[in-house]
Amino acid sequence: MNIGSLWQILLLMLSSCLPYAVESRGGEKNILSSSSTGLANLTYVRTGKRLLEAQHEKKIDLAKGYLTNNDLENALKDFTQRCGNISRIYSIGKSVKGVPLWVIEISDKPGEEEAEPAFKYIGNVHGDEPVGRELLVRLANWICDNYPEDPLAAFIVDKVHLHILPSMNPDGFSLRKRGNANDIDLNRDFPDQFFPVNNEMSGRQPETRAIMNWLRKIQFTASASLHGGALVANYPWDGTEDKRRYYFPCPDDGAFHFLASVYSHSHHNMSLSKEFEGGVTNGAAWYPIYGGMQDWNYIHAGCFELTLEVSDNKWPPANELPTIWEYNKKSMLNLIASVAKTGIHGRIFSAASGRPLPGYIMIKGINYTVKAGRTFADYHRLLAPLENYEVMATMTGYKSKTTTIKLEKEAMGVDFILDPEVPNGENQLESECDCTCTTSKSGLQVMGSLWTTHMEAYFLVVVVLGFVCILLCRRRARFSFLRHRQQGGPKRPAVA
Ligand SMILES: *[C@@H]1O[C@H](CO)[C@@H](O)[C@H](O)[C@H]1NC(C)=O
Ligand SMILES: *[C@@H]1O[C@H](CO)[C@@H](O)[C@H](O)[C@H]1NC(C)=O
Ligand SMILES: *[C@@H]1O[C@H](CO)[C@@H](O)[C@H](O)[C@H]1NC(C)=O
Ligand SMILES: *[C@@H]1O[C@H](CO)[C@@H](O)[C@H](O)[C@H]1NC(C)=O
Ligand SMILES: [Zn+2]
């Protein structure tokens, strides 16, 4: 028996007797501080052996009534059979032991790109925190069962692409431990903004790599990972530069506090927490961690990620799971919906061609850039409501545009139409517009030989031709622009 397993027993014991178990997101540091009374160490010294035996017995039933990894795989496959027209299943990779990391996507057009925000839920990051994976299966089933009658289910399916990874750590789950099969804590395995926790891609765990590759393919607007051992919605930053514990706000502190509050206030009693004001916390104010998935999402994947602690008890008896689901149901649904129901949304277009421009959205005073989608140039900028914002759209080769808006509680739509930087956009017009303007160049060359004899007449013809061409181009651009905009859903005010 090694120190590691002793600690695990200790932690498990703590998680069942403390009001909240602090080890869920982080661990060591906080456990030490919570055992600063000496109680934990003392308890272990005195009753270590007895505990171990008791734990062994408990271990046998720990997951009784929970879905096994096989059950989970079958549940997901059944789900896509039953709800085939609004879902698909895909794998983002495999665990150390070769278990596929299955994701279900729920949308009215699963697998298709749309000018809509995407949201992801990840459960079971820590193998010994299985409540999340159970909740996520229930969430998927609830949406399927209530679509399209329930307005919230309909909204989510129609307006959002929801991706659910119920278990990021199936090996840890089957081993009933926090880390993966290599004993690595996956929520410490991501590149960190301050400390090189593990900056070797090759040295990273397969589960971590799977997530990182996934986020290269899909642009998520927001997400949450589900943990157990406490009851709180945690938001960035998770770590401080000097490793000390204090409130360390990220540039989007307002938006994050808002999103975390959407969760806690929709929950049965998370917002009533005595430990955390409003049931939310800045990660570093709780305890700093490094190499976590949350901060990495925000910094590297343009995704606003929360870390949700959904149950004080890491292994509640399975018969309590339906109640825990009821407690979290509205929160989980409202958080997904908030990526389309709040914030600023729109698309960026070229004034010259009418085509979508995959540019950038910036907010004055917030040092963070949101990228528009590659295909539709749709952007989804989450922000705290009830404030004024100066919104700027940029794209290389185009003049930036800025507009000031007052964001209400509901989402707001703002499209941007950017002018090319080149004056009158001659080159832009030719290259981006399918019209026949390009022939005028060669036309001029042909005319060159006749230049001397009928100079004036040809000059006039060329000028008139050019003029007609530009007119045609403009009309086509406008037309194509209208057509593009119509694909973008409801009409929105445009900053032209
Ligand atoms: C527990 O207590 C022993 C002495 O009783 C001490 O050597 C050890 O460092 C303590 N461990 C922790 C984790 O506090
Ligand atoms: C999926 O099927 C259900 C039930 O047949 C139907 O009500 C719904 O409109 C379908 N949804 C889509 C997106 O086709
Ligand atoms: C929330 O409700 C659960 C179940 O009734 C209870 O165990 C827990 O202590 C409550 N937490 C808070 C913060 O009120
Ligand atoms: C903005 O954030 C970047 C990192 O994303 C940082 O390098 C830069 O110094 C920040 N700028 C300001 C003005 O804070
Ligand atoms: Zn955890």
Statement: residue 176 has pLDDT above 60: yes
Whether residue 313 is predicted with pLDDT greater than 70 in this model: the reply is yes
Confidence of residue 291 (pLDDT cuts 50, 70, 90): very high
Contact by Cβ (8 Å): 163, 336: no
pLDDT at 471: 62
Tell the CATH superfamily of the 69-341 domain: Zn peptidases (3.40.630.10)
Retrieve residue 494's tokens: 């445009």
Mean pLDDT of 374-391: 98
Do the strands 161-165 and 118-122 form a parallel or antiparallel pair, or are they unpaired?
parallel
Mean pLDDT value across residues 392-419: 97
In angstroms, the CA 160 to CA 461 distance is 53
CA distance 299 to 192: 9
What is the rounded distance in angstroms from the CA atom of residue 455 to the CA atom of residue 55? 99
What is the spatial distance between Cα 144 and Cα 32, in angstroms, rounded to a whole number? 44
Cα distance between residue 240 and residue 245, in whole Å: 7
Please report which residue ranges of 342-438 form alpha helices under DSSP H. 426-432
Q: What is the pLDDT of residues 195-217, one digit of tens each?
A: 876 666 678 999 999 999 999 99
| Among the bound ligands, the one closest to the CA of 125 | 5
Write the single-letter amino acid at 327.
Answer: Y
Question: Going by DSSP bridges, is the β-strand pair 161-165/100-106 parallel, antiparallel, or unpaired?
Answer: antiparallel
Query: What is the CATH code of the structural domain delimited by 342-496?
Result: 2.60.40.1120
**What is the percent of the chain with per-residue pLDDT over 90, rounded to a whole number?**
70
- What Rg value do the Cα atoms of the chain yield, rounded? 27
Q: In what order do the strands lie in the sheet with 222-227?
A: 87-94, 100-106, 161-165, 118-122, 222-227, 304-311, 230-235, 280-282
Residue from 131, 74, 127 nearest 104 by CA:
74
Picking from 343, 354, 292, 446, the residue whose alpha carbon sits closest to that of residue 117 is 343
Q: Whose CA is nearest to atom 5 of ligand 2?
A: 85
CATH 2.60.40.1120 residue spans of the chain: 342-496
Provide the 10 A C-beta neighbour count for residue 400: 15
Ligand nearest to the backbone CA of 40:
1
| Contact between 393 and 361 (Cβ < 8 Å) | yes
For residue 286 the two structure tokens come to 């709780």
pLDDT of residue 101: 98
Residue 143 in contact with ligand 2 by CB distance below 6 A:
no
Question: What is the whole-number distance in angstroms between the Cα of residue 251 and the centre of ligand 4?
Answer: 9
Tokens of residue 418, six digits: 């950017």
Distance 1 CA to ligand 5 centre (A): 24
Which amino acid is residue 259, in one-letter code? L
**Range 327-336 burial, b when 16+ CB lie within 10 A, else e:** bbbbbbbbbb
pLDDT number for residue 244: 96
Strand runs labelled E in 277-377: 280-282, 304-311, 344-350, 360-363, 366-371
Q: What is the pTM of this model?
A: 0.78
Average pLDDT (293-315) is 97
Any ligand 2 atom below 6 A from CB of 105: no
Tens-place pLDDT, residues 70-80: 999 999 999 99
Cis peptide before 237 (omega within 30 of 0): yes
Q: What percent of the chain has pLDDT over 70?
A: 72
Residues, the chain, total?
Answer: 496
pLDDT bin (cut points 50, 70, 90) of residue 456 is low
Measured at the CA of 148, the angle between CA 146 and CA 150, to 5 degrees, comes to 55
pLDDT per residue over 233-284, tens digit each? 999 999 999 999 999 999 999 999 999 999 999 999 999 999 999 999 999 9
Nearest alpha carbon, ligand 3 atom 9: 19
Task: Give the mean pLDDT of 122-149.
Answer: 98
Q: Where are the beta strands (DSSP E) in 126-221?
A: 161-165
**Separation CA 144–CA 83 (nearest Å):** 6
Nearest CA to ligand 3 atom 11: 269
CB-count burial class (<10 Å; 0-12, 13-18, 19+) for 216? exposed
**pLDDT > 90? residue 333:** yes
Domain with CATH 3.40.630.10 in the chain: 69-341
Query: What was the pLDDT predicted at 197?
Result: 67
Catalytic residues: 309
User: Ligand 4 centre from 367 Cα, in Å?
Assistant: 6
Higher pLDDT, 221 or 483: 221
The tokens for 183 are 């004993």
Orientation angle between helical segments 321-341 and 253-266, nearest 10 degrees: 140
Please give the residue that has the higher pLDDT: either 26 or 345: 345
**pLDDT at position 449:** 37
**Of 38 and 92, more confident:** 92
Beta-strand runs (E) in 301-425 = 304-311, 344-350, 360-363, 366-371, 378-381, 387-394, 401-407, 412-413, 415-418
